[in-house]
Amino acid sequence: MGETILSMRQIDKRFSGVHALKGVDFELRAGEIHALVGENGAGKSTLMKALTGIFPKDSGEIHYLGKLYSPRGPKEALSRGIGIIHQELNMMEHLTVAQNIFIGRESTKGLFLDDKELNRRAETLLARLNMNIDPRETLGRLTVGKQQMVEIAKAVSHNLKILILDEPTAALTETEINELFAIMRDLATKGVGMIYISHRMDEIGQITDRITVMRDGENAGNGETKNLTKEDIINMMVGRVIYEEPKAKSNVAPGAEVVLRVKNLSAGRMVKDVSFELRKGEILGFAGLMGAGRTETARALFGADPVETGYVEIHGKPVKISSPMDAVRHGIGYLSEDRKRYGLAVGLSVTENAILASYDDYEKGAFIHRKEVADITEKYVDTLKIKTPSVDQLLKNLSGGNQQKVVIAKWLIKNSEILIFDEPTRGIDVGAKSEIYTLMNSLVKEGKSIIMISSELPEVLRMSDRVLVMCEGRITGELDIQDASQEEIMKYATKRD
């Protein structure tokens, strides 16, 4: 690691009703990979937005490359060598890799675009970053991991000194994560300082040099990664000890009723002859590698995608589910993997999102009974510990973890009997994870039943009573939790017919 290239001192920021940053300090050195961690709503993203000029800080000073720095927008920050890779990629899938990297800075020959020169520039850049990607390929044809690497290449093409990576591994396979880490280490040798925002403790220990922890808009601690244990970091983040032990045995009562039976379900090329049962009070874990067909199975069951063959029974009676409205009517709620795309209306308030599935229940003639709606929303804001100044706050102003809790509140208000949780803790900090785990356990104790899809094997082993493993659209294994292990799950996750 080299000299200090960034120094943020006593950064303060307020929004209406929220004191987001309270005198925060942060420092970055050249060639350093510095983790910035904390619970959702701790202020990490707000601090980075102040650094990249998305909005101005209220007070405090930023020194960059030895000079006072106060960017007027992301474009100025990028022109001065500070770039950010957001969790949600911001690329144009219909354009080529080269066109995405150099958009707005295209090569020209006279009055015309020079695609040959554009591809040459992109090829040189990708080779320098050891990225095996064809610059002529259409971006939408690449995997999410490769698309993310293109976005990194685009940022690096601006001669970066600082690169901010916000949850960069959330949607990547293990191979893609290893490729990303190799690129990050290579950039570090070239003197690029990196700020790495992640909730994945194991990855933080693997890739970073130093860690700064934030809690409730303040500094909660920092230190060299090699000197901090996972428990140290979690304790600084949440101020309490959190245990993540695997479940020793199933909590489902012997002879519990089968509330959901799925037989020979097929939908598209990703769901092939899937059959399973869900019992009352059970957490049924669905495990498998990316592309195994878990989400596609859930969407077909919920009526979001068309079903080709198969049938569904609820409480022993056949039901026809042709749309999400049918599923909701039969007592099924679905917390989708992509909450912003399928689960939320971020331009609406917390209350409006919380009752999205229950408007019919609160109609009084042509009107909505606002007091009842506000009261029930307040109840679940308290129950789920959703951090918001009020139930009237726009959802887009909440952190990702709190947005996730609003989706859960939506289905609890609807009183859904069967809940499908697809990656319920993706992009959520360890404290919020623990709260959602506690909630899921309390729900099944009340008699609800949960299908939980998760790519995190420790989560599957901690929460599930039984585990189904999928590979290439089929169920390849079923394990009682007392017989399950990461090794057993992976054996079935790579088992092909």
> What pLDDT sits at residue 155?
83
Angle at 35 between CA 31 and CA 39, to 5 degrees: 165
Question: For the whole model, what pTM was predicted?
Answer: 0.63
Helix axes of 115-128 and 144-156: crossing angle, nearest 10 degrees: 100
> What pLDDT sits at residue 371?
81
How does pLDDT run across 99-108, given as a tens digit for each residue?
Answer: 988 887 878 7
> What pLDDT sits at residue 240?
62
Residue 314 pLDDT more than 80? yes
Query: What one-character DSSP code corresponds to residue 394?
Result: B
How does pLDDT run across 353-373, given as a tens digit for each residue?
Answer: 998 888 777 776 666 777 888
> What pLDDT sits at residue 402?
84
Per-residue pLDDT band for 82 (boundaries 50, 70, 90) equals very high
Asked if the 4-238 domain carries CATH number 3.40.50.970, the reply is no
> What pLDDT sits at residue 193?
96
Tell me the residue ranges of DSSP E strands in 171-257: 193-197, 210-215, 218-224
Which is more confidently placed, 269 or 312? 312
Q: What are the extents of the domains in the chain? A: 4-238, 258-493
Q: What CATH number does domain 258-493 carry, 3.40.50.300, 1.10.10.10, 3.90.180.10, 3.30.360.10?
A: 3.40.50.300
Residue 45 pLDDT more than 90? no
> What pLDDT sits at residue 365?
63
How does pLDDT run across 248-267, given as a tens digit for each residue?
Answer: 899 999 899 999 999 999 99
**Mean pLDDT, rounded, for 453-460:** 88
Most confident of 123-132, 346-355, 462-471: 462-471
Token output for 28: 């970055």
> What pLDDT sits at residue 367?
67
- Residue with token string 């099944």: 444
Mean pLDDT lowest among 15-24, 28-37, 247-256, 318-327:
15-24
Token output for 23: 């005198």
How does pLDDT run across 318-332, given as a tens digit for each residue?
Answer: 999 999 999 999 999
How far is 29 from 54, CA to CA, in rounded Å?
Answer: 23
Q: Is 4-238's fold the same as 258-493's?
A: yes
- 325 burial class (0-12, 13-18, 19+ CB within 10 angstroms)? exposed
How does pLDDT run across 205-218, given as a tens digit for each residue?
Answer: 999 999 999 988 99
